[in-house]
Amino acid sequence: GSRVGVDARLHSLEWYRKTEQTLAAAQIGLLSLAENPIDLHWQERPAPSSAPARLFAETIAGESSPSKRQRIATQLRASSADALLLTQNESINWLLNIRGSDIPALPVVNAFAILYSNAALDLFIEPSRLDCQFSTHVGNDVSVYPAEKLNDVLQRLGEDMLRVWLDSASTNAACALQLQQYGA
CA angle, 76 then 82 then 85, to 5°: 80
Tell me the β-bridge partners of 29.
Answer: 3
The predicted-structure confidence for 42-96, as pLDDT tens digits, reads as follows 999 888 888 899 998 777 878 999 999 999 999 999 999 999 999 999 999 999 9
Region 100-115 average pLDDT? 93
pLDDT of residue 161: 96
Residue 6 has pLDDT above 90, yes or no: yes
List of residues 6+ apart from 181 with CB closer than 8 A: 158
The predicted-structure confidence for 112-163, as pLDDT tens digits, reads as follows 999 999 999 999 999 999 999 999 999 989 999 999 999 999 999 999 999 9
Q: Do 116 and 82 meet the contact criterion of CB atoms below 8 Å apart? A: yes
pLDDT of residue 22: 97
pLDDT of residue 130: 95
pLDDT of residue 104: 87
Long-range contacts of 25-29 (CB under 8 A, 24+ apart): 27/1, 27/2, 28/1, 28/2, 28/3, 28/4, 29/1, 29/2, 29/3, 29/4
What band does 9 get if pLDDT is binned at 50, 70 and 90?
A: very high
